[in-house]
Structure 1
Amino acid sequence: MDHVIAVRQLRVRSRDKTLVGPVSFTVEHGSTTGLCGPSGAGKSTILRALVELLPNGLTRDGELQVLDRTIAPGKGDADLRAQIVLVPQMPVVFGGSILDNALFGLRHVLRASQDVLKERAEKALEEAGLWKEVADRLDSPAQNLSAGQRQRLCLARALALEPAGLLLDEPTSALDERSRDKVEQSIAALHGRRAVLLVSHDPSQVERLCDTTVNLDQPAATSPAAAAVS
């Protein structure tokens, strides 16, 4: 399988202090990789480092390759973030319709007719496992969706970009069991078609969904996190 994401000795630093890492791993096309570790180990920080969205004052070093393209620190761009898309822990739903939300990112990277855009959005909603629930109300306010539906809408928004990889940050942590199961079904359906890097605090979820696990062993607040791949 081809590497979609490959990192070697990646660290996140605040000036001379290492906060996270070093960590090395690859995410293959069609596979789901779990990124695990205790609270404070820096899991979400690593996801942000991969798409150059670290908070001000933090930097990364080490080698990062996306689709065989080496990304120098600080040199990520909108093109990178369309190829490797971060879906945050809390679903962000904008004002407007369900369709508007599904198209939000795509409108910024693809110049196409409304029909073409809508077709991409509908395909993404289906891939995210939400189409059957919203097909007859695409013009309804997205704010009316349940928490689980909002999370799948955010997944659809990312999938509409047709990315090579998805970074999912605790996608079910705020959901009830029924909504969690639906989101997990959507993630499982991506297996074989997308490269997925999943941050989860739930070992059983990682076991259900992931082919490979990257473990961040220690909280970054007390000690630099060393990573082992299992």
Structure 2
Amino acid sequence: MKIPKLRAEILPDGSLKPEKENEWLVGSLEEEKAVYRRLEGMQGLANCLRVSSNGIELDYYRNGSLEDYMRVDDPPVWEQRLHWIMQLVDFVAACHEKRVLWFDIALRNLLLADDWTIRAIDFANSTALPLDTDLATTDWDGYTQKLEVLHVTNVMYSISQWEKFQVNCVYAHEWPLADSFPSTQHLDLGPIITKAWNHHYQTIAELRRAISSQ
């Protein structure tokens, strides 16, 4: 069960003074509930058992996250890694079709099911935009669908290289310079990854088409 971790200061009289962050945490949980409701039944989403006033209850995935698996195991065959990449790209593309920006696209938020497919979690910083929203022009407090292309590409590189790689980029102006990214020359999807890092793809759909035509 996911519930907000609320904090408070104990005053001399024994009463509690809630911290200001509590209001944000509660609001974040409500937004996450809205996202799970919007994405209900979508392939690649962690199975949500229940959304209630108390929190969000998900299935337990005993294999842990892809980040955990990468830390302790040798890389599986390329076909398996490519399958994970396509699952991620398909899932994020489906999120965008539902007008959801995920935000926390990372290895730690990709759990491994018993059949070794990935299941996405952690939508605390996500937003479910109105269904008539044009993502091409949407700027959600400085965050856009193009930044999701960057973070998906970072996971693509991590799975391909079998080494965690991520950048802290919340706003468009924080996009790293081209020469700060690692080399991709030795990777099967290297040219596509490099193009994505260099702003070649504006949407996840464009990135997906490039991978599919590889």
* Fold shared, TM-score > 0.5 on shorter chain: no
Q: Which has the higher contact order (CA 8 A, sep 6+)?
A: 1
Normalising by structure 2, we get a TM-score of 0.29
Normalising by structure 1, we get a TM-score of 0.27
Which structure has the bigger radius of gyration? 2
| Structure (1/2) with the larger strand percentage | 1
